[in-house]
Amino acid sequence: MLSLVVVLSAACGTAPGSEPESTSTTFSELAAEASRNAESVQQCSTERLRVHLGPGDNDMRGAHVPLRFTNTSAEPCTLQGAPGVSYVTEESGQQLGLPAKRHTDGPVVTVKPGETASAALFLSSAPHKTPGCEQVQAGGLRVYVPNGIQPRFVGHEGTACAAPLEEPSLEVGPVRPGADNTRI
């Protein structure tokens, strides 16, 4: 039996009675390294992303579509929170109505080059049903990536109510992994 212990100890790289080299990593060390790695990945800037709408579905309340963020750069980047979204008349046009209600609590999402993350976007049908709504035609959406300051224009014809309103006709959730998030 003693020879088996010696053979096993030798196979593991330690002799009987000697102290083994410390090669194990604790959970807290792994978590700290993962945190450092996440911190080294830069936040996605508007310039690094293609922002576009994906196909969605409709119900009696309105349309549910994914607002997609595709990384067009050569490096991974992160997104966290909800984008800013509002209807606009055209690319450099005036905002129509209130900006989207934002649900900002979401995970940090790392978007690798060529990959897409998305935020659920709800476009209410209320402008078509609300008495007193002064309907105006939107030429698209002005989108600010989470924590971004430069907007992107996303072409999308729709109907909005001119301000003042009590509630926005858009609602957006946080960015999540995957290209097809449609439910907030």
More confident residue, 164 or 26: 164
Pairing of strands 151-161, 135-144: antiparallel
Domain boundaries, the chain: 49-177
Give the pTM: 0.77
Report whether pLDDT(13) > 90: no
Integer-rounded Cα Rg, in Å, for the chain is 25
Instruction: Tell me the pLDDT tens digit for each residue of 28-64.
Output: 554 455 455 556 799 999 999 999 999 999 999 999 9
Local structure of residue 73 (DSSP, 8 states): S
Is the CATH number of domain 49-177 1.10.20?
A: no
List beta partners, residue 175: 119
Instruction: Tell me the pLDDT tens digit for each residue of 56-88.
Output: 999 999 999 999 999 999 999 999 999 999 999
Cis check for the bond before 164: say yes or no (omega within 30 of 0).
yes
Q: CA-CA distances (angstroms) from residue 100 to 10, 43, 78, 120, 142?
A: 66, 22, 22, 12, 10
